[in-house]
Amino acid sequence: MFGEEQFHCRFIFTNPKSPLCLFLPPALILAPRLGYLPLLASQVKPFFSGALPPGVDTVWFEYKGLPLKWYIPIGVLFDLLCAEPERPWNLTVHFRGYPGSILTPCEAEDTVKWSFINSLKEAAYIINGNCKNIMNMSQSDQSELWRSVSNSNLEAFLRVSSKLKLGMHGDDFSIKLDSYKCRQSSKNEGEAPAGAVKPGRIPVRLYVRSLSEDFDCEGYAPVVESWDKISYINRPVEICEDGKFFTLGDALRMLLPEFFVDNSTTKDDMTCGVEEDEGRRSTSQEASAMETRGGDSSDKNTEIKLVRVQGIEPKLAIPFAWVVKNLVNPEYFLHICVYIKTPDPIPI
């Protein structure tokens, strides 16, 4: 018995082990908010090429165990996954073991390019009712447009994109629109009334992140372990009141009506047919109220905690047209990240 205990003692002291986690030196780069993760491959590979095993490289990124969707702009991913902005943003890059069950395939830069072009077509259809301007682009213009996006060349982008005629606003942040009744009558009669103007349609991609009760107002939020915790809405915001002061809060009310319940206001009243003076007063009051309470909901335990667009947290009373003019992405979609505190994930 004594001999066995002596053997165990000798083993412990002669063969001790400690768990280690080893890292290669990190690669520090500046990534454009409007860019896409796969476009960083040419910058990242040289840092780690000496440590890679033989084989075909398929680059993908993860954040705290969550594979990152390559077709979502880098800035949107950052806004969505970092409740408290983390600088630098610590990502893990992989060159093997692509998670095909979670991420759609991304073979090369061309995959990202055509994803961008398809989003641009979708936005054009929402804004103009067709995507002819995109379909009729010359090959050289299309290539120059993509190069301007991939290289973050604003001057080149503005030069090419101006040919697409996808303006959604005037210099005074206003959008000239027809009335709800005009649109309804045109639908019923099959033709547009004389002099009627199309309603303003803004392409919006909304990302709703559901957080549990332990969400900290200081900015702490639990790690997103699965994309199931995030709901995705791809829906245009249709502004149909002529001259109404339309805010970011109004847009969110249309996209997430369940969080802005007002028994005294019908759905049509919230979006169409409000008189200009009353609309300005009520919108201002509603936006102010939403700022203080984070939005109403039929469930008192559920509320909007945070709204982010392009890295900033705008007031809900800000004119929506200003947000569109200044914060829209190159594919003409406005990406909005919303943090919602809720006991359970929100099905949308």
Show me where the domains of the chain are located: 6-104, 110-170, 200-261+300-341
Res. 303 pLDDT band, cuts 50 70 90: confident
191-218 pLDDT per residue, tens: 444 333 345 789 999 999 988 765 655 5
Average pLDDT over residues 326-340: 95
CATH number of the domain at 200-261+300-341, please? Answer: 3.10.20.90
Q: Which CATH number describes the domain made up of 6-104?
A: 3.10.20.620
Q: Tell me, yes or no, if the pTM score tops 0.95.
A: no
Whether the pLDDT of residue 124 is over 80: the answer is yes
Segment among 51-65, 178-192, 210-224, 244-258 with least mean pLDDT: 178-192
Mean pLDDT value of segment 99-127:
94
Indicate if 200-261+300-341 has the same CATH topology as 6-104.
Answer: yes
Q: Which residue has the higher pLDDT, 219 or 123?
A: 123
Provide the pLDDT for residue 17.
79
Look up residue 6 and give its amino acid.
Answer: Q
Least Cα distance to 84 among 221, 230, 226, 227 occurs for 221
Q: What is the mean pLDDT of residues 284-304?
A: 51
For position 9, what pLDDT does the model report?
A: 63
Q: Lowest-confidence range among 140-154, 254-268, 316-330?
A: 254-268
11-36 pLDDT tens trace: 666 667 788 988 888 999 999 999 99
* pLDDT on residue 296: 42
Give the span between the Cα atoms of 219 and 285, in whole angstroms.
Answer: 27
Secondary structure class of 278 (helix, strand, coil) = helix
- For residue 111, count CB atoms less than 10 angstroms from its CB and return exposed for 0-12, middle for 13-18, buried for 19 or more: middle
Classify the C-alpha dihedral 167-170-175-178 as positive or negative.
negative
The answer regarding whether domain 110-170 maps to CATH 1.20.1740.10 reads no
